[in-house]
Amino acid sequence: MTSVLPGSADAAGRRATLGVMGGGQLGRMFVHAAQRLGYFTAVLDPDAQSPAGLVSHHHIQTAYDDPAGLAQLADLCQAITTEFENVPAEALQTLAHTRPVAPGAAVVGIAQDRMAEKAHFAACADVSGVTCAPYAVLETPAQLQAIQENRADLLPGILKTARMGYDGKGQVRVRTAAELAARWAELGGTACVLEKLLPLTAECSVLVARGCDRQVASFAPQRNVHVGGILAVTHAHEGNMPPALATRAREAAVAIAEHLGYVGVLCVEFFVVDDGSEYGRLVVNEMAPRPHNSGHYTLDACDVSQFDLQVRAMAGLPLPQPRQHSPAIMLNLLGEVWFDANGQMQEPDWHTVLSLPGTHLHLYGKMHARAGRKMGHLTITGPDVVSVKRVARRAAELLGLPGLDAI
């Protein structure tokens, strides 16, 4: 892959342009990172009000699989990425016929399907040193019967749809064989995996960037707290995890990316399971072929953000090892923050929140707030972990955020 140099132009004098499939907040932050380096940007998203489309040089307002839209994106751009894993893998394959696409359609396709994803984790367990939770595939009534009769060890468990599940969607807990059958029927008998419910003590994630030249950069693991299946708090500071466990997670994430031949930014999420040992055992949960909500703190606490690395990886530029200069805690801002106790719309008290030291507010430009919708995030940085935690607790109190006891 030839580097797409910042500020360069083609024979017709057009400025170097980087494209992104998807117009959400991740695309918006990618666009900002690319523009800081002098690139033009193009976004393909069907929503006229998409956050990334509103700030990009070009917004191609078509469906993700529209041939004319894909042709226009390919014509405009020198390289293309995606901001979410559920863009059709076939569309990325079409673009790859004429343009570098990172990550590629094959690895995005693996991340789109929990069955393929778990098979990949199993295939690279020897090199990554981690396994996924015990599980079984459920696609047919015969497989349901086999699980009921022979896999009692998987219950209680979590039934997850194989595709289109995120932020807790498409997931239900099941305790008995009868409950498993009932919940699978409620999901329409769609392809699922049944995972054994494990005794979790923590959750963490690792961000890895890998270039087409196999150069790798990564961030230290961040510890995550979820409420209702949606990320609420991310701890990115010294002491957020035992050092030995953090090193293991980082090495495992890099090994998973290497095994995929990945190009771009990859987030690998892990469970920490209580196995009776001092620190617990790492279990790989899932991966996202893109920057991740848990890595947003890198915008304010690191000299190079996850989005800077996404731009560099897809453009074939050097990947510096990021340096975190401040301890940080990130608080997710969901649509509930914009409503009072009576369900009436209200603007959050940003004046008071921003009067707190070390607060960095990022709003995503979404026009309408609703429950569970990611509207923005607040990152708190400071000179030490104690002061960061103190400010984060106060900010969470002012905004009525969940997960306060986890700060």
pLDDT tens, position by position, 349-360: 999 999 999 999
**What is the pLDDT at residue 12?**
66
pLDDT at site 170: 78
Q: Give the residue-averaged pLDDT of 376-380.
A: 98
Q: What angle do CA 270, 271, 276 make, to 5 degrees?
A: 135
Give yes or no for a contact between 18 and 34, defined as CB atoms under 8 angstroms apart: yes
Q: Is the pLDDT of residue 166 over 80?
A: no
Nearest Cα to Cα of residue 130 among 288, 283, 285: 283
Please give the pLDDT value at position 406. 84
Q: Where are the beta strands (DSSP E) in 192-298?
A: 192-196, 200-210, 216-218, 222-227, 230-236, 264-273, 281-288
Q: Residues within the annotated binding site?
A: 114, 160, 165-171, 195-198, 203, 226, 285-286
Token pair 């990550």 in the structure block, residue: 103
Q: Residue ranges for the binding site for ATP?
A: 114, 160, 165-171, 195-198, 203, 226, 285-286
Token pair in block for residue 40: 């033009």
Q: Please list, in sequence order, all residues whose beta carbon lies within 8 angstroms of the beta carbon of residue 368, skipping any fewer than 6 positions away.
A: none
- pLDDT for 8 beyond 90: no
Asked if 267 contacts 205 with a C-beta cutoff of 8 angstroms, the reply is yes
Query: What are the Cα distances from residue 43, in Å, to 31, 64, 329, 352?
Result: 8, 11, 30, 35
CA-CA distance, 182 to 129, in Å (whole number)?
Answer: 36
Please report which confidence band the pLDDT of residue 165 belongs to, taking 50, 70 and 90 as the band edges: low
Q: Burial of 231 by CB count in 10 Å (0-12 exposed, 13-18 middle, 19+ buried)?
A: buried
Instruction: Report the 10 Å Cβ neighbour count for 85.
Output: 23
Which pLDDT tens digit goes with each residue over 189-210?
999 999 999 999 999 999 999 9
CATH superfamily placement of domain 134-196: ATP-grasp fold, A domain (3.30.1490.20)
Q: 194-251 pLDDT, tens per residue?
A: 999 999 999 999 999 999 999 999 999 999 999 988 999 999 999 999 999 999 999 9
CATH architecture observed for domain 17-101: 3-Layer(aba) Sandwich (3.40)
Q: Which helix (H) or strand (E) holds 70?
A: helix 67-76
Does residue 164 have a pLDDT over 80?
A: no
Rounded alpha-carbon distances, angstroms, from residue 379 to 223, 234, 287: 14, 9, 23
Q: Is pLDDT of 113 > 80? A: yes
Q: Domain ranges in the chain?
A: 17-101, 134-196, 200-401
Q: CATH topology of 17-101 equal to that of 134-196?
A: no
- 286-331 residue pLDDT tens: 999 999 999 999 999 999 999 999 999 999 999 999 999 999 999 9
Tell me which range, 3-17, 118-132, 286-300, is most confidently predicted by mean pLDDT.
Answer: 286-300
Q: What is the pLDDT of residue 168?
A: 60
Q: Which has more confidence, 377 or 371?
A: 377
Closest CA to 197 of 223, 162, 172: 172
Residue percentage of the chain with pLDDT more than 90: 88
DSSP class of residue 103 equals: S
Average pLDDT value over all residues in the chain: 94
Q: Residue 90's pLDDT is what?
A: 95
The pLDDT value recorded for residue 312 is 97
Cα-Cα-Cα-Cα dihedral of 350, 351, 354, 360, to 10°? 40
Task: Report which of 66, 44, 65, 67 is spatially closest to residue 56, judged by C-alpha positions.
Answer: 44
CATH of domain 200-401: 3.30.470.20
Peptide bond into 103 cis (omega under 30): yes
Q: What is the mean pLDDT of residues 77-102?
A: 95
Please count the other Cβ atoms lying within 10 Å of the Cβ belonging to residue 199.
11
Least confident of 171-175, 252-256, 360-364: 171-175
Instruction: Provide CB contacts within 8 A for 284, sequence distance 6+.
Output: 121, 128, 130, 131, 132, 252, 256, 268, 269, 270, 271
